Amino acid sequence: MTSNRRLARMPPHLALTAGQLAKLALYPNGGIRTTKELLEKSKIELVENCDLDGEVVEDIKRKVSRWIVPKSVTVLSLLSSISFTPPFFTTCIPHLDAALNGGIPFSSVTEIVGPSRSGKTQFCMTMSVIATMPCEKGGLGGSVCFIDTEGTLDVDRLVEIASNRFPDYFNPLTPEGKSNLLRMTQNVHIMNAKSTQEVLQSLEGLQELIITHKIRLVLFDSVGYIVRKEFNNMTNEMKDRYSSPSLMGRSDMLIRESAMLKFLAESFRMAVVVTNQVIRYSRPNMISTSSNVRKRVCTRETNNSYHVTSVLGSGWAHSITTQLTLECFDNGVSGIGQGDATNNAKRVKITKSPIAPRKSFYYAIDKCGIVEIDMETNMRNNEVGSVVNYEGNGPF
Amino acid sequence: MSGARPISSLDLSPGIRTKLTKAGFQTVRDLEETTPVDLSKGISTDDALKILQQTKRNTVDAMSASEVLVRERLAASISTSSNAIDNMLGGGVPIRKITEFCGAPGIGKTQFGIQLSVNVQIPETLSGPEGEAVYIDTEGSFIAQRAAEIASAMVERVNGHQHAGTEALVNVDTILSKIHYFRLHNCVELIALVKVLDEFLKEHSKVKIIIIDSIAFHFRHGFSDMALRTRILNSLAQDLTKIAHSFNLAVVIFNQMTTKFFVSSDRSATDQAILIPALGESWAHQCNNRIILYWQDGIRCANLIKSANRREQIVTYQIGATGIRDVIDDASSSRKRPREDLND
């Protein structure tokens, strides 16, 4: 991104001499013209191929490094610069916001994982409605970019959530409410991406869109769908060779995507939320082997235990900062009264966060989008059924 | 033996090297016999001096074991705030060594980083290192608010040791102002930073720990040439070792885990996948200590798997609002009970 610069552009106090540049350009296979090409070469390679002295090479490398290295800041100044802008955005669940120290953190990537019908897209839609509202109403006062790979975004549903959740602000019967609704729909920018190539392209073009439309929130629903479609050919021929280029290509692509999302989140100080599908696997069997690596035995069939993992493997999971896991309960298990809001009670758990403990919260989906359920009443109605499920397995 | 080193392995420019070979110089020993003036028959005296300095630089600089011992005794290790992990490492994260923590996402690697960057500032009166920290963030997972939270817990602990009425030893703001934070967006920036880190450390001579969170992130994408990746990683590790020695500081590196598949020859057998530290086998040689963090039955565990002086060991820890702490006995036993039930 910014650190792959042309050597010819170096500022006067660091600049290389014309002779040095000419010698570097003589490097075999195209020559050295950028900082990246230079720093990847070892000293001996440069001495050998460019006919430069060892000390000169050291000096060149040092100058180039000085040029591109970012400045350090102390954490104290980091903290004070953050406190001017609200660094969090609501998750639509007040208690979850409180546990996360304010909600979804800006400048980092948050992932929402969950099985189908757990409400991933509903979360995204509720958040986009809130984000378009002005700051004094609890929104972000900006636009939303919605990267839709599954084609599940429904604008009618957006309007429904808006007019039911905020009946005063988005009242379809008053002219003011109508114009607010219109503005809300205008401020949600939908990008359809049908292949990984398109996703990467739209991410590359996103910078312009973010600046022109004052985008404060990027939603990516869902990241797993496309890559699973394109790379998940692991049935027969690939079973023989797991380390096939396609699987490597997948993780390479994913980490590239996440590096770009992170870069955008940080440079524009905005919130980035991605959703992801889950696969179920049987309870991991931790066996310590002689070489002391942890062994996980994966079986292919799905299992009744509630052990799910996000689909894209550890490479992707490392690149997100906050992860929320959604779970739905089988209605048969929870066995609560029919027609009740708690009937479709679902649970959201903080599974990764640098600030929050691993806590769970209950929510439901209704005409207002995502709503929190009071856990107390839920537990009282439900003493027999879901106690087992309620026990979290984290240390908190 | 070093005298037999061929001229071609010195980093001389090809022009000069050809001249030397033409004059009959083949190995370093041949050069040792000459003086600059003698050598400068075909080349300038400046170049001749440079060549001879090169050969001299290749002599070995040894230090006796007792000297090393004294140095290591002097350096206070950096506590992780968990007694169990400190004991496992022999008092804390060692100075002048590279220590690597590997672990699955969400296990608390960044928490260790923040905790160490705060703990490095424990004052000398409490036998702490009383230094500053460099935090190199490649993933963007550092949260300043969390650092403030952990720092205020440390302040409370430290000042709790003080007698009433005396002035407080530390406060949160000074702690936070002594953590120098670098945010890097690609591996070129990382290479560049390590290159000029010695200049930064000369300006900030109190730095006692360098934390890289994480080394793996930028090296796991965009590298089609694996040999190139290995070479860059190795030279980074060598530079870091050099820095750790010459500035007397600890280097802590966080690494991610990657999945390795084992395909059984029998198709009906279950396929196995194991989680191993990323970046491959040759990287594993670069660190002096390696600790793997993982979950077992809802308890966080740390396993020392590589160390030159401590035995392999598994201990448990937990992460709370105040940072990294030991697992308290009765809490852990009550958590273990459901597991035993499961096994029955």
Give the model confidence (pLDDT) of B42-84 as tens digits: 677 777 777 777 766 655 567 777 777 777 666 678 988 899 9
Q: Do B273 and A299 touch (CB under 8 A)?
A: no
Q: Do B147 and A242 touch (CB under 8 A)?
A: no
Q: Which of the four pLDDT bands, split at 50, 70 and 90, describes residue B266?
A: low
Of B188, B221, B272, which has the smallest distance from its Cβ to A255's Cβ? B221
- Cβ-nearest to B222 among A61, A107, A256: A256
Cα A150 to Cα B266: distance, rounded to the nearest angstrom: 37
Cross-strand pairs, B307 = none
B29 interface with A at CB cutoff 8 Å: no
Of the ranges A185-199, A241-255, B257-271, the best mean pLDDT one: A185-199
Which residue from A214, A212, A158 is spatially nearest to A181, judged by alpha carbons? A158
Q: A354 and B50: CB-CB below 8 Å?
A: no
Q: Chain B interface, mutation test: which of A279, A318, A350, A355, most B Cβ atoms within 10 Å?
A: A318
Q: Which of B290, B280, B192, B276 is nearest to B228 (CA)?
A: B280
Q: How far apart are CA A83 and CA A102, in angstroms?
A: 12
Tokens coding A163: 């007019």
Would you call B110 and A354 a contact, using CB atoms and an 8 Å cutoff? yes
Task: Tally C-beta pairs within 8 A across A and B.
Answer: 220
* CB of B235 less than 8 A from some CB of A: yes
Q: Give B132 or B24, the one with higher predicted confidence.
A: B132
Q: For residues B151 and B322, what is the distance between their CA atoms, to the nearest angstrom?
A: 8
Can you tell me the distance from the alpha carbon of A311 to that of A222, in angstroms, rounded to the nearest whole number? Answer: 11
Structural tokens at position A131: 């984000």
Indicate yes or no: CB of B192 within 8 angstroms of CB of A35.
Answer: yes
Lowest mean pLDDT among A71-75, A331-335, B171-175: A331-335
- Looking at B171-273, list the stretches that DSSP marks H as alpha helix, in order from N- to C-terminal side: 172-177, 187-203, 226-246
CATH of domain A86-378: 3.40.50.300
Q: What is the pLDDT of residues B213-228, one digit of tens each?
A: 888 888 877 777 888 8
Per-residue confidence band for B212, with pLDDT thresholds at 50, 70 and 90: very high
Residues of A whose CB is below 8 A from B141: 108, 321, 354
pLDDT above 50 (res A392): no
- Rounded CA-CA distance A232/A242 in Å is 11
- Among the partner-chain residues A101, A263, A299, the one whose CB lies closest to the CB of B185 is A263
pLDDT of residue A339: 44
B222–A36 CB contact, under 8 Å: no
Work out the angle between the directed axes of helices B187-203 and B226-246 (0-180°, nearest 10): 10
Helix, strand, or coil here: B324? strand
B214 vs A: CB within 8 A? yes
Residues of A in contact with B104 (CB under 8 A): 314, 317
pLDDT value of position A235: 45
pLDDT at A239: 45
Task: Report whether B43 contacts B19 (CB < 8 A).
Answer: yes
Cα–Cα dist B114/B319, whole Å: 12
Position A274, amino acid:
V
Q: Can you say how many angstroms the Cα of residue B81 is from the centroid of all Cα atoms in its chain?
A: 19
Condensed to tens digits (0 to 9), the pLDDT of residues A87-145 reads: 678 888 888 888 887 888 888 889 898 888 888 888 898 988 888 888 777 778 888 99
- Residue reference for tokens 């033996």: B1
Return phi, psi of residue B137, to 5°: -105, 115
Average pLDDT score over residue span A44-60? 84
pLDDT reported for residue B113: 93
Nearest CA in chain B to A350: B106
Closest by CA position to A288, among listed B296, B211, B142, B50: B296
* Cross-chain residue pair A78–B196, CB shorter than 8 Å: no
State whether A354 and B143 contact (CB < 8 Å): yes
Q: pTM for the whole thing?
A: 0.71
Query: CA-CA-CA-CA torsion for A364, A368, A371, A373, nearest 10 degrees?
Result: -70
Of A105, A365, A149, the C-alpha closest to A275 is: A149
Cis upstream peptide for A334 (omega within 30°) = no
Nearest Cβ partner for B145 among A101, A239, A296: A101
Residue position matching structure tokens 């608390």: B108
* Joined tokens for residue B314: 């598994």
pLDDT for B243 equals 92
Cβ count within 10 A of residue B235: 15
Q: Give the rounded percent of residues in chain A with a pLDDT score beyond 90.
A: 1
- When the pLDDT of each residue in chain A is averaged and rounded to a whole number, the result is 74
HSE of B259 in the Cβ direction (CA atoms, 13 Å)?
22
Residues B327-341 have a mean pLDDT of 49
pLDDT at position B207, please? Answer: 92
**A211-220, A226-235, B155-164, B222-231: range with highest mean pLDDT:** A211-220
Closest chain B C-alpha to A1 CA, distance in angstroms: 8
Distances from the Cα of A271 to the Cαs of A123, A146, A163, A268, A361, in angstroms? Answer: 14, 12, 24, 9, 21
Those residues with Cβ within 8 angstroms of residue A132's Cβ, 6 or more apart along the chain or in another chain: A139, A140, A142, A143, A144, A183, A184, A187, A188
Tell me whether residues B181 and A108 touch, CB distance under 8 A.
no
Average pLDDT over residues A209-230: 81
Closest CA to B275 of B294, B291, B289, B300: B294
Distance from CA of B231 to the nearest CA of A (A): 9
First to last CA, chain B: 65
Chain B residue with CA closest to A262: the answer is: B140
Strand A215-221, strand A143-148: pairing: parallel
- Whole-number average pLDDT of chain B: 80
Candidates A79, A242, A314; nearest CB to B256: A314
Summarised one tens digit per residue, pLDDT across range A35-50 is: 888 888 888 888 888 8
- Read out DSSP for B267-299? TTSPPEEEEEETTHHHHHTS-SEEEEEEEETTE
For chain B, positions 303-322, list CB contacts with chain A under 8 A: 303, 305, 312, 318-321
Q: Which ipTM value was assigned to this complex?
A: 0.73
- How far is the alpha carbon of B143 from chain A, nearest alpha carbon, in Å? 7
First-last CA distance in chain A: 40
Tens of pLDDT, residues A10-42: 888 888 888 888 888 888 888 888 888 888 888
pLDDT the model gives residue B114: 93
Cβ proximity of B164 and B176 under 8 Å: no
Percent of chain A whose pLDDT exceeds 70:
73
Supply the CATH classification number for the domain B80-337: 3.40.50.300
B324, B81 contact by CB (below 8 A): yes
Closest CB from B143, B188, B261 relative to A68:
B188
Q: Which residues of B touch A357 (CB under 8 A)?
A: 320-321
Interval B114-125 mean pLDDT: 89
Q: What is the pLDDT confidence band of residue B276, given thresholds at 50, 70 and 90?
A: confident
List, in sequence order, every residue forming a beta bridge with A189; answer none if it has no partner. Answer: A145
- Min CA distance, B89 vs chain A (Å)? 17
Closest CA to A107 of A261, A266, A322, A323: A266
CA distance A92 to A326: 14
Q: Where residue B115 falls among pLDDT bands split at 50, 70, 90?
A: very high
Say if the Cβ atoms of A395 and B11 lie within 8 Å.
no
A48 vs B contacts (CB less than 8 Å)? 14
- Gap from B136 CA to chain A (nearest CA, Å): 9
Partner-chain contact B182 A242, CB within 8 Å: no
**Are B176 and A76 within 8 A, CB to CB?**
yes
Do β-strands B179-183 and B132-137 pair in parallel, antiparallel, or remain unpaired? parallel
**How much is the average pLDDT of A70-99?**
78
Contact B275, B104 (CB under 8 A): yes
**Cβ within 8 Å of A, B 131-150:** 134-135, 139-149
How far is B240 from B246, CA to CA, in rounded Å? Answer: 10
Cα distances (Å, whole numbers) of residue B218 to A107, A266, B153, B215, B299: 18, 16, 33, 7, 30
Cα A117 → chain centroid? 20
Q: What is residue A348's three-state secondary structure?
A: strand
Q: Of the candidates B11, B50, B135, which has its C-beta nearest A47's C-beta?
A: B11
Closest CA to A37 of A348, B6, A28, B19: A28
Which of B54, B177, B271 lies at the smallest CB-CB distance from A76? B177
Q: How far is the CA of B322 from the CAs of A80, A103, B112, B150, in angstroms?
A: 21, 20, 12, 5
